[in-house]
Amino acid sequence: MSCWKRGSRVDKIYLNEMEFYGYHGVFPEETVLGQRFRVNVVMETDLRAAGRSDDLEKTINYADVYTLCKEIVEGKRFDLVEAVAETIAGDILGRFDSVERVHVKVIKPNPPIKGIYDSVAVEITRDRHE
C-alpha cells in the first residue's frame, strides 16, 4: 500500500534538446533557407504503474513524443515559434491521455537578428484542464 496521495508529488518525463530543421519565421530567408530548432518537452504524469511494472504500455513512449515533435517542426510551417510550441503542447495533450501538464520550449539558435546572443526561445505550459 502506497502512502502517496494523488497530487502529493509530480512525476515528469523530459525530452531535452531535440534538434530539427524547419522553415518557421516571418523573414523571407527563414522560409526559404530554413534553420535549426531545438525543442525541450517536460510532461507531468503519474509514473508509479510504469515504475512498479517495468511495462512500456504503462508510460509514455519517448520515441512517440520525439516523432510527434519532429513531424510538427519539420512537416508544418508557422510564422511564430509560439505557434510551434502551442501545436506541440496541444498535440501531446491530445494524444497522450495520461499527461496532465506539458511544458514546451522551442529554441531558435540562429534567428536572422543582428546582435550578439546565444539564442531566442519561447516556453509555454499547458494543462489538460485549461
Reported residue count of the chain is 130
Residue 108 appears among annotated catalytic residues: yes
Query: Could you count the other beta carbons within 10 Å of the beta carbon of residue 116?
Result: 4
Determine the Cα–Cα distance for residues 17 and 63; give it in Å rounded to an integer: 14
CA angle 79, 82, 84 (to 5 degrees): 70
The residue annotated as part of the active site, out of 5, 76, 108, 114, is 108
Just list the catalytic residues: 108
